[in-house]
Structure 1
Amino acid sequence: MDDRNVNRVAARQLGEPMIDMSAWKDISVDVLDDLHLDPRNVRIEVKDTSPESDIINDLFRNEKALTLVESICKIGLLTHEVPIAIKRDGKLVVVEGNRRVAALKAIQNPYLAPEHQARITKITQSVNREALRKITVKVAPSEDDANQLIAAIHTGTQRLGWSPARQAAFFQAQIDAGKSPEYLISHYPTVEVKKFIIRSQILNLFRGVHYEDLELRDYIKLRNFPVSVLARLYDYEGFLVVAKIRVDEQKATVRLESSQGQFNKLAEKIIGDIKTKHINTRTLNSTKSEFYIGYMNDLRDLINDYSEKEAIAPRTISAPAHVQKAAPGTTSSSQPPSSSSQQGTSSTASPTQQGKASPAPASPAKTSPTPSTTPEKPKPSPNYLNLGQVKIDPSHPAAIHKIYAELAMINIKKYPNATLDLLRTFLEKSTKAYAEKLKVDLKQHAGQQSGSGFVQLSHCLTWLEEHLKNTKQTAFIQVIKKIRGNKVGTYTPTVDHMNAINHNHHVFATADEVRDCWDGMEGLIRVMLKP
């Protein structure tokens, strides 16, 4: 058995697909008469039915094929890598090396690239065209074999890869052709196929938006669109919650769960901010940075404002015409009162008032000179809790994920009581989910404490404190004591305080209290919910 067969047998035994090009035929072909460029090439933006001249023009216009013509004419055609071709519909189609073949075709006939014809003619004046007419290509046995090689070259590490958008487009093209994500994942074991498929689907979501700004519609479709900036957002779980995008990383699927109008509003801002460079890979470098947290809060404000308008819009009733348009000289009931009516004065002066001259306006009071430097105003407290560092195990019940998503979107300044009530629920349910994951029967534990089978928050925290002691996680024991209210720290983040908000009709919450409660329990929540 020769070495090639040994390698094939070894690969088969390991269960890994291996590219074996030893059986691929090398043939000599005429670049003009025998070879056809590939309209499905992800480098180009033409239709499958486009003539070859359109493909050549696209490669010269967008993929720097003219630079390749200059290189070939100066140093010759490098043959350390040969173009890869396949038989498709009776034609020999180039699937790897389209730029080289387009350059060689243009050298033979500069008129194939009319926009660059004059320069090509000048560059090729002293070139022996006949010596470049015939080249060697390697013929792949099937489209799948060729695709596997192309993926290894352009999405692996053996060569400088395509742009992120092009990498995603390669796999999206195969999905569009009927290949399943499962097939692609198994067929390309050395490539991060899931990441590329998710990237493509996210990009398709944003490209499918009907942008009001026509420039944004064109910008998002550019082949060099900086998808890496977008990735700094969608790689962050907190953003996916705000945008209501559900990503299943195991199955490589993406689903939009918000209304299309809501997502359109979000996309308009994000793509606009990328275009103006308000956000980039530098400003979004860390999810813990002040800028990133502030930007996420801006997105929440945008979504919440839109949702409120969306909710009341169907119930808006147009005022009657006689109310909307007041007669000349009168005040419409739909308009705000004039300044005189607000002050309680009549618009018509009394006879006594008419006989007297109006008093001269009082001279403005003297003011102290404005200092040259004014102290900076304190930054306003954020409207939202920072839940960005919480990672939830996918195995936890759906209720945990849904409560987390609601907490991420509640404006705590507008709804402090609702937020604090939900925080209490989140703490209790997170503890129960944690116990369930550890196969602990909290009902039995609660029954031993109180004689009943009901599991309340106090029971959950008692068990959790015992568990932390038994597992030597002593750093969180005082956190539990503080929440339980065992005279450690302040009153605000305690169970008694949260219960009072829930049950006592004389007690209400403030936004600062909500923040204090979250700060007191965040570390504990992260430990219980982490994957």
Structure 2
Amino acid sequence: MKKIVNLQNDWPEKEIALQQLLLDEENIRLDLENKTQDAVIADLFVNEDAMQLLISIHKNGLFPDEIPVVIKNDGKYIVIDGNRRVVALKAMYTPGIAPKQFENRINKLMAGFEPIERIKVVVAPGREEADKYLAAKHTKNTRKPWSALRRAYFYYAQKEGGTNIETLIERYGNKEIPKYIRMYEMQRIATSLSGISDHVRQSVSSKNFEISTLERLYSDKYVQGKLGISFDPVTGQVAAPRNKAFDEVFSKIVTDVVDGRITSRKEIKDPRDREIYINSVVSSPIPKTPKAGAEKFTPKKIVTTGRKFLIPNTIISTLDSAAIDRVIEELQTVNYRKFPNLSADAMRSLLEAVLKKYFDRIGNSVPKKKGARYIFLQDALSHAKHHFSAEGNNEMRQIIERIEANKEFLEMINHNPSIFSTPDETRDTWDIMQELFIYVFEDTKRRRKKP
């Protein structure tokens, strides 16, 4: 008779001092030789929300079911699963390891608190076995290489931590680092624009933003001349006009990119195409002064308070479902402050329908549990979390996890006669979900356009 593998017995649990744990430098999904602990720490704080996890542990404690998986290599313990949690604990113990912009906040949080010094870990036999565990846990290969924009965030996190760009180039031997610095700063400028809608701002602010079309434009010398932008030949840092004319023109370009009116494969594929497009957008010369670096362009936040309607009119489904379209239209017209429970109920139904339809459309349908007649919301959420984990899309995975944490409340509104939703609870729940809906609709549109 075959035995079912029981990793709880096969992999021993051990209590280890935080100082003995090393973060997994293979977590940096780049083909680099000189990966360092400092680089991993900076990336986890700046790009993977380690600070939010630190605040949660400080407030709620370390839960017993959150045990990191490690391997032992040359007498050292390397964290394979649970790097964010471990770096948060390490920073609570030694705030100075965190990037400068987080250090003071951690010191204030920890004033009067004794940090955790030792934690339980599970010791895997080796990296190969640990990677198999991760692959099984997340359904596919979890070591998918980072996107270009995600790489840009990695390098820029170290720049913001105090490492100059020349040192980064020398450290990693990567002559493309200026390209990634340029990419990050152009995205930052895009998020600072006054002339884009909330929908466009949310899309372009995401680490998952498909930047290749915008990159093809701003890399064109003719386009640079028309926009009045320039790039440092050594560091890649951007200088751009800070005036109304530039804001209006670049807003139009960013909106066209987000809405799919231009793509790098068609409308602006060739130099002549880009020349025709930029001339159609720039009707009169943009004043070249005053010019400023990207750090002077402050990203704008979306204001969501005081609104009557739950879903903005800019949210438009691309899933070709009349039922989904109708629910969205209703939630765009119903005053959720007057009808918070009706809105919350419809929102829960919309979430389930959109996830099921989306995964059907991309050929990765949500499976039924064995013996089940129906697919439930939790089935769809679990499938989504595994899908986004496998894709390396941590932003969407984290949103799914936040929705899961809030799902019980949505279910209770349906089934418990003593539970009701307030307007603020309904609004906050939608605000957690909104980025997921935007991503799903935009990803569906992108896939449809692929040849």
TM over 0.5: no
Per the normalisation by structure 1, the TM-score is: 0.32
Higher relative contact order (CA 8 A, sep 6+): 2
Larger radius of gyration: 1
